[in-house]
Amino acid sequence: MTVNHTHDPAARSWVESANLQGCDFPIQNLPFGRFRTSGSREDFRIGVAIGDQVLDLKAAGLVDTDDMNALMAASVQDRLALRIALSEGLRQGSHNQAAWAKCLQPQAVVEMAVPCRIQDYTDFYTGIHHATTVGKLFRPDQPLMPNYKWVPIGYHGRASSIGVSGQRFKRPQGQTKAPDAQAPSFGPSKKLDYELELGFLIGQGNALGEPIAIADAEQHLFGVTLLNDWSARDLQAWEYQPLGPFLSKNFATTLSPWIVTMEALAPFRAKFERPAGDPQPLPYLDAPANRESGALNITLEVWLQTSKMREAAEPAVRLTHGNTQQAAYWTAAQLVTHHTINGCNLQTGDLLGSGTLSGPEPDEAGSLLELTLGGKHPISLPNGERRTFLEDGDTLTLRGYCERQGVVRIGLGEVSGTILGS
C-alpha cells in the first residue's frame, strides 16, 4: 500500500465538485459504498464517491457484480488495478468522461446501505486513554487491567444490529443496579452513550487453523469506516463482569456508508511507537513495517444536535476533536494477527472495531462517559441545555478526515444516528 500517482496532489477530476477545497471525496480518495435511488426498490449497487456524486461501477463497466464482498475479496493487485482505472477515468481529460458522466448520480438523491455483508463483528479496546479513564470510574483501585499492554483486548459483538448512517433506534431497556440498591430494577436505560471508533473491514480472509502473520496482516485489510458503538452504561456496569458487555452494546452499532480503502490511506500512515517504559509487543505482534507505518493519522470529531436545536434550526455543536495517532495503543494489523493467532478464521466483510479513540486531553474524549466523568459533570450546550448522557431526539454524528502537508485532504464522511423514545 504505497503512495503512487493515484495520490498525486496535482490530480483534478472532471467532476468539478471533487476539486473543491475541503471536499471529503476528491479523486485521491475513491471510497466504495452501496447505493440506490432514494425511495426506490432497486437492488443496491456498488458505487464510488467522487465529489458530491456517486459513480455506478457496474454501469461504467468496471465490475460485473453488485456484491461488495466479491470486490473486497479480490487480490491486492486487482484492487490496485481498479483504483488506477478509477483514478485515470475520473481525471480531467480522460477519454472515459463522456461515457462515465452518464453513470453518475448526485449523492443527494441516493440512499446508502451498510457497505458490505458483515457476518461477524469484533470490537476491540485499543484506546488506552479511554480504557484508563473508564477503568478509573468502574474500578478506581485498578484502572488498567494487567493484560492491557500485552493483549489487544476485544469481545465478539453482534452483526445483526449493525446499521448505516441515518439509523434511528429505540432507547434500550434492561436491568440496572445502583451501587447502593438492594436489588436490580428494570426499565429504559438512563445512561445511553456513544463511542467514537473506526471500523476496519476485512478483504481476503484466512482458512480456519491458519493464522495471519503480522507481516501479511495489512494485505487482509480492505478499508476503514467510522463506527459508533452505542452503549447503555447503566446496563453495562451491572452486566459486564465476568464475560464483558452484552445487552448494553448489541442493540445498535452504526457505520458510515463509504469504505475508505487502505490504498487511499497510504499517505496518512504513521509510526507505531510505545511510550518509554511500556512493554514492546510480543514477537508475533511485531514487524518492521508495523513499527514504521502501522498507525493511522486520522482526525476525528463528534457532533451533537438535540431535538430542541433541530426545531430552532440551530446547527450541531462539536463535542470532541482528536486524532487516532495519540489514541490507539494497537495497530489494525496487530488486531488482525491477534484475532487469528489461535486459528480463528476471519471472513471477507468481517468488521473489527477499534475501540473508543479518546485522546489524552479532556476535550478529546470519545464518549459522554468520559466527557462528563460518569455523569458527574454535565456539559452545557450553547442553547442552555445540559447533557450527561443522550436524551430522546438527540442526533449524534461522527466525522473523520486526514490532512498532511503536501497531500490532498481526504474524508471518511460521517455517521449519524438518532435516539427514539423507549
**Active-site option among 129, 130, 220, 339:** 130
Comparing CB distances to Mn ion, the nearer of 13 and 320 is 320
Through-space distance between the first and last CA atoms of the chain, rounded to whole angstroms: 46
Q: What is the smallest separation between the CB atom of 136 and Mn ion, expressed in angstroms?
A: 17
Comparing CB distances to Mn ion, the nearer of 123 and 263 is 123
Q: Decide: is 195 part of the binding site for Mn ion (CB under 5 A).
A: yes
129 is catalytic: no
Comparing CB distances to Mn ion, the nearer of 195 and 234 is 195
Nearest to 272 by CA among 211, 220, 231, 327: 327
**Stretch in the footprint of Mn ion (CB under 5 A) among 89-97, 127-135, 142-150, 227-235:** 227-235
Q: Decide: is 370 part of the binding site for Mn ion (CB under 5 A).
A: no
Convert the chain into a string of H (helix), E (strand) and C (coil): CCCCHHHCCCCCECCHHHHCCCCCCCCCCCCEEEEEECCCCCCCEEEEEECCEEEECCCCCCCCCCCHHHHHCCCHHHHHHHHHHHHHHHECCCCCHHHHHCCEEEHHHEEECCCCCCCCEEEECCEHHHHHHHHHHHCCCCCCCCCCCCCCCEEECCCCCEEECCEEEECCEEEECCCCCCCCEEEECCCEECCEEEEEEECCCCCCCCCCCHHHHHHHEEEEEEEECCEEHHHHHHHCCCCCCCCCCCCCEEECCCEEECCCCHHHEECCCCCCCCCCCCHHHCCHHHHHHCEECCEEEEEEECHHHHHCCCCCEEEEEEEHHHHECCCHHHHHHHHHCCCCCCCCCCEEECCCCCCCCHHHCCCHHHHCCCCCCCEECCCCCEECCCCCCCEEEEEEEECCCCCCCEEEEEEEEEEECC
Task: Find the residue with minimal CB distance to Mn ion.
Answer: 229
Q: What is the smallest separation between the CB atom of 192 and Mn ion, expressed in angstroms?
A: 14
Q: What is the smallest separation between the CB atom of 154 and Mn ion, expressed in angstroms?
A: 9
Comparing CB distances to Mn ion, the nearer of 160 and 182 is 160
Comparing CB distances to Mn ion, the nearer of 123 and 364 is 123
Q: Decide: is 229 part of the binding site for Mn ion (CB under 5 A).
A: yes
Size of the site for Mn ion (CB under 5 A): 3
Q: What is the smallest separation between the CB atom of 262 and Mn ion, expressed in angstroms?
A: 22
Q: Decide: is 263 part of the binding site for Mn ion (CB under 5 A).
A: no
Distance of CA 404 to the CA centre of its chain: 20
Comparing CB distances to Mn ion, the nearer of 96 and 122 is 122
Q: Which residues of 256-278 are buried (b: 16+ CB within 10 A; e: fewer)?
A: bbbbbbbbbbbbbbbebeeeeee
Q: What is the smallest separation between the CB atom of 355 and Mn ion, expressed in angstroms?
A: 5
Contact with Mn ion (CB under 5 A) among 56, 123, 239, 350: 123
Distance CA 236, CA 136 (A): 15
Q: What is the smallest separation between the CB atom of 74 and Mn ion, expressed in angstroms?
A: 29
Comparing CB distances to Mn ion, the nearer of 135 and 267 is 135
Q: What is the smallest separation between the CB atom of 356 and Mn ion, expressed in angstroms?
A: 6
Q: Among all residues, which ones are annotated catalytic? A: 130
Residues binding Mn ion (CB under 5 A): 123, 195, 229
